[in-house]
Structure 1
Amino acid sequence: MKAKENEILLIYNSEKYEDRKAKGYADTMKDHALNERDISKNNLTETQIAEIARDMNVDMSVLIDKNSDTYLHHLKDKGFAEAELTKLMVKNPDLIKTPIAYIGSRAFFVGSAYDFVNADFDIEGVRSKKGNVFEKKSD
């Protein structure tokens, strides 16, 4: 998976509040179109999940959301091979740790608007003087 030039590909779960916030941050980016992929409505394939792990240079287990109900009630303290984890994530998209942003071929987890700022994007209200001075990172 890759984002086109001047595009952000955001993989998120609209059923998660933090993911909806990240989508809001991505919507405010200047000069970049948002291409969103809501995994609560359109599941990723095994190939796409494997590609995300490869693009992020992480083991499949890193893509598991350790706070999801499915993980906590059915998978915690159990060992699974990567192929099994991939199949579980296809069937249970809430298991996928999101949001994930692609900017070009670079992929990363989005924790806050500052993750976009660190990727050198100007988000109105985050770098501008309109942002909350107590939330801004010092340069």
Structure 2
Amino acid sequence: MEIAENEMLFIYDSNDLQDREALAYAKSLKHYHVKALDVRKHTFTEWQLEEILERLEMEPDDLINQRSAIYLEEYVGVELSREDALKAIRKHTDLIRTPVAIYHDTARLIGSSYEFIKKEM
């Protein structure tokens, strides 16, 4: 994924109010052009997921939202290998913990919409 220094790739879930609020805060940042990807509408390749995980310095299990309906229905108590976890995320992109902000040289899970305000200050 090519991301310029003044760009941010913002991965969010449009069904989640807090994610939509965080997206609004991200778009208000003066120093970044935000490219938004909605997990409800975008399918990631395993290569893209690997790159996201590398930038986050995480394992696939860490990126899975264990509160999602799909996780609770299909994956609770199931031990997934790295490959299986990537395949599950690829098949069900709403398994991804969101929001995720990916910058030119790093990425992070956003815990609160207000993190963007702190970053800008």
Q: TM-score, normalised by structure 1?
A: 0.80
For structure 1, the residue ranges without an aligned partner over 5 or more in a row are 123-139
Match of 1:115 in 2: 115
Higher relative contact order (CA 8 A, sep 6+): 2
Kindly state the Cα deviation for residue 11 of structure 1 after the two structures are TM-superposed: 1.0
Larger radius of gyration: 1
Secondary structure, in 3 states, of the residue corresponding to 1:65? Answer: coil
C-alpha contact 1:63 1:96 (8 A) present in aligned 2: yes
> Residues 91 and 37 of structure 1: is their aligned pair in 2 closer, same or farther, counting only changes over 3 Å?
same
For structure 2, the residue ranges without an aligned partner over 5 or more in a row are none
CA distance in structure 2 between the aligned counterparts of 1:53 and 1:92, rounded to whole angstroms: 16
More helix by percentage: 2
Match of 2:101 in 1: 101
Kindly state the Cα deviation for residue 2 of structure 1 after the two structures are TM-superposed: 4.8
C-alpha contact 1:101 1:107 (8 A) present in aligned 2: yes
Which 4+ stretches in 1 moved above 3 angstroms?
A: none
Tell me the matched-pair count: 121
Match of 1:30 in 2: 30
C-alpha contact 1:7 1:32 (8 A) present in aligned 2: yes
1:13-52 aligned at under 5 Å gives the runs 13-52=13-52
